[in-house]
Structure 1
């Protein structure tokens, strides 16, 4: 049996709790966030922006601070830190800082993208800062096109993108640098097309690579593969690829997570009329462990306490247990158990915050990362849960925050007098729903003060049921109104307007 989607901030025994769906106060950016890297208590953010501002404010607010495509925030408070490097690109380029990657010891922050200078110094498409001080290091190489993704071990920094040379030396979309000296290494596998994501396998022997390529080192499969971390960079056995029908219909891996605890590679994918959900893969041979076929390109994933969070434009998850059918609109933030029990497809968990897509046909969420307590989300959105918040937000576990969001509003109930009855009225209403609690307690309230009935009921926003209660023992001829109060597990409530008055028979 697949686990139930009752999982939320207060799930039944044996099910994983999620972070709350209530966004925490977080400073915003005035442009797209392409990546977030949480290192200890600091969240580093890179993208295409020129300023940051407090939560709840509009662009140009007097408290706005200049930040040129790179910024740092306190992960626990969402407040900005004073670190403010200046990252600049060739005029007309948009993806300024595309990826951020901390070294395993947390003492270096690497960044890549299409930028050319950092703090006025030449740093074509790759740079590094010492941590926690944030001083620009001497790492410098002339890379002839964008570097989209990074992965690091204690000794080596691996890079992927669309470039063809490093310092005039041929490197076909993949290269590596010695982290001690900064020198280009002999590691030189090849990809025939764009490399978009990378991760180091849990045993540190492989670089897992995702993107729009058809071959690595001349070998399939499309979109996903692995090469050795040793000096050879030769391909390793890899079974699971992504779908390729044609250049206009194929999938690509947008994000990769290597989980040492479970020896698993988690993959998110986007596609054009093809697979664009999530997968879990055994790094030892690339064998598929599970796959979800939720429709709507996935741009980013994050793993916290056994839950895999994803940012996408999901619009049909009917293929997953407890998933929603084709809906009008998108559910851009989702959660599922990373290690589902007894199923090849994980269920959708009851965690439903969302964002908009942002201007200019944006995606919405484009980056995710976190630590044990906080999930950070970046992208090109301008609202979170229908409230203004641009390009950056975060959510917390119940160890660091409270579940404060009330259930969604309830429309007023209808009240009727059943035929042939005396002193009786029937109250009918439609369920509401809560973003992070599956079960709500409903109270039927007569005349504004008297609770006449209480029941618990589970609800999903795409399948709201009709509930009713028959109120008996009323004085014949008396007139009454009714309202409905819904309360989540933590006492957050919403209450409907009062019904029209109706006379009891």
Structure 2
């Protein structure tokens, strides 16, 4: 096990990354170590769904009830949200009362964090699906008064004075917005100029599963159960120009996600992340199907620029096992799910690995240029899968639903440091 002390300069960088809301993952010069640090705490039940860093504090959201310190000596009651020190793993007193799972987090200004999920109350005050909370004391920021009508918030991103939210809701504060909205980051008021006009004819509901924004704030890519943007056809993925007031759908599109995977999926896309320079992005998907031609159970790179139809630059296939999370650092594309193999287009659940497949149990890294698996192979207990990555100046934080990471006990949370 590695006892890693973070240098002061690295802490300063991490603090800056956590205090300034940003889109895309920050660049890292090399692939992280396969040996996790040993000071992260443990989540003893449920699933970690979301991560965010505010200053030198890591905020963790999910569906859980108990947290334990790294030495496994002290157990803390923490329902659906808690915080710990980025540099030492010490569980903080931050313990807002959230009555249902937290699926999304985004750092805010002045030591606050935005919280999204399926909850109806925060600290016993009615505030459905969206809240802003003070990190030092866990108090709800009452000035932020946003409420969804039903469903949940699954993804959040704060950009200066604006907060973007995605999920299964159909209105916020009484303003109709199907699955995607932009809010005033201070008050939670809906930006009435911004309306993506998403719809999904024939599906039960419109849902934004995830989205990301380019570092320069010019483009937003959303994935989920969506089929149209206004009168324009867009299957499971859409790109918007967000430089002005409206949400303007761009001419960028792909038909790569039109083919169906296993029956029953209203969407099989799960996460999308831009590269640190914003020139390309990667989509992670499930689908429960193995195919050398479809994008079921894959990670696929697309270029941001250009007009009209786009095909993937490369596709990394698992052979029928889901990918749920992706992080892009420039030196690597990290993917997590419950996969057993990568480089496996001709393998399947029934037949096993195909020619050229490599073992990458539950977590792996991809060469950003070629789309092939890198040698990085720490392994983890598969479970349902990794649900969240958080890239920080000192490494890669991983949130999941199992107890083993890198051949060590790290219950549902762990961190791979930079060498």
Give the TM interval when normalised to the shorter protein: 0.7 to 0.9
The CA distance in 2 between the partners of 1:116 and 1:249, in whole Å, is 27
Structure 1 match to 2:6:
none
Structure 1 match to 2:157:
151
* 1:366 paired to 2:387: yes
The CA distance in 2 between the partners of 1:370 and 1:88, in whole Å, is 28
**What is the Cα deviation at residue 52 of structure 1?**
0.5
| 3-state SS in 1 of match to 2:196 | coil
Contact 2:42 2:69 in 1 (8 A): yes
**What is the Cα deviation at residue 201 of structure 1?**
2.4
Structure 2 match to 1:203:
216
The CA distance in 2 between the partners of 1:201 and 1:346, in whole Å, is 21
Which residue, out of 270, 290, 307, partners 2:313?
290
Which residue, out of 373, 385, 392, partners 1:348?
373
**What is the Cα deviation at residue 56 of structure 1?**
6.0
TM-score normalised over the length of structure 2: 0.78
Structural mapping, 1:129-148, within 5 Å: 129-130=133-134, 134-138=138-142, 139-143=144-148, 144-148=150-154
| 3-state SS in 1 of match to 2:146 | coil
The CA distance in 2 between the partners of 1:262 and 1:148, in whole Å, is 22
Greater strand share, structure number: 1
* 1:121 paired to 2:125: yes
Contact 1:304 1:371 in 2 (8 A): no
Provide, for residues 52-111 of structure 1, a one-character-per-residue CA deviation record: whole Å limited to 9, x for no partner. Answer: 002364xxxx6101111111111222221221111113xxxxxx10011124x6754211
Structure 1 residues 249 and 146: CA distance shift in structure 2, 3 A:
closer
Unaligned runs of 5+ in 2: 1-28, 201-205, 346-351
Provide, for residues 407-459 of structure 1, a one-character-per-residue CA deviation record: whole Å limited to 9, x for no partner. Answer: xxxxxxxxxxxxxxxxxxxxxxxxxxxxxxxxxxxxxxxxxxxxxxxxxxxxx
Contact 1:114 1:147 in 2 (8 A): yes
Unaligned runs of 5+ in 1: 1-15, 90-95, 399-505
**What is the Cα deviation at residue 241 of structure 1?**
4.7
The CA distance in 2 between the partners of 1:305 and 1:282, in whole Å, is 14
Contact 1:124 1:140 in 2 (8 A): no
* 1:190 paired to 2:197: yes
The CA distance in 2 between the partners of 1:50 and 1:248, in whole Å, is 31
**What is the Cα deviation at residue 132 of structure 1?**
5.8
The CA distance in 1 between the partners of 2:114 and 2:230, in whole Å, is 26
Kindly indicate whether structure 1 or structure 2 has the higher relative contact order, using CA contacts under 8 Å at least 6 residues apart: 2
**What is the Cα deviation at residue 306 of structure 1?**
1.9
| 3-state SS in 2 of match to 1:293 | strand
* 1:240 paired to 2:254: yes
* 1:223 paired to 2:229: no
**What is the Cα deviation at residue 248 of structure 1?**
3.3
The CA distance in 1 between the partners of 2:327 and 2:187, in whole Å, is 31
The CA distance in 1 between the partners of 2:393 and 2:300, in whole Å, is 22
Structural mapping, 1:423-434, within 5 Å: none
CA RMSD of aligned residues (A): 2.7
**What is the Cα deviation at residue 355 of structure 1?**
1.7
The CA distance in 1 between the partners of 2:400 and 2:246, in whole Å, is 36
The CA distance in 2 between the partners of 1:97 and 1:77, in whole Å, is 24
Structural mapping, 1:265-344, within 5 Å: 265-273=281-289, 274-275=294-295, 276-285=297-306, 287-288=310-311, 290-295=313-318, 296-304=321-329, 306-318=331-343, 325-326=353-354, 331-338=361-368, 340=369
Structure 1 match to 2:83:
72
| 3-state SS in 2 of match to 1:335 | strand
Contact 1:152 1:200 in 2 (8 A): no
Provide, for residues 200-222 of structure 1, a one-character-per-residue CA deviation record: whole Å limited to 9, x for no partner. Answer: 12331232101122223343331
Report how many residues are paired: 360
* 1:357 paired to 2:382: yes
* 1:52 paired to 2:37: no
The CA distance in 2 between the partners of 1:149 and 1:237, in whole Å, is 24
Structure 2 match to 1:37:
52
Contact 1:305 1:372 in 2 (8 A): no
Structure 1 residues 357 and 260: CA distance shift in structure 2, 3 A:
closer
Provide, for residues 296-344 of structure 1, a one-character-per-residue CA deviation record: whole Å limited to 9, x for no partner. Answer: 2211122346222111222342358xxx944798611101233x2xxxx
Structure 1 match to 2:21:
none
The CA distance in 2 between the partners of 1:245 and 1:347, in whole Å, is 23
Structure 1 residues 290 and 42: CA distance shift in structure 2, 3 A:
farther
Provide, for residues 179-229 of structure 1, a one-character-per-residue CA deviation record: whole Å limited to 9, x for no partner. Answer: 233211112223222210011123312321011222233433311112232
Which residue, out of 170, 179, 182, partners 1:173?
179
The CA distance in 2 between the partners of 1:40 and 1:352, in whole Å, is 30
Structure 1 match to 2:410:
389
Contact 1:108 1:130 in 2 (8 A): yes
Provide, for residues 1-57 of structure 1, a one-character-per-residue CA deviation record: whole Å limited to 9, x for no partner. Answer: xxxxxxxxxxxxxxx742221122221112210011233422211001111002364
Provide, for residues 468-491 of structure 1, a one-character-per-residue CA deviation record: whole Å limited to 9, x for no partner. Answer: xxxxxxxxxxxxxxxxxxxxxxxx
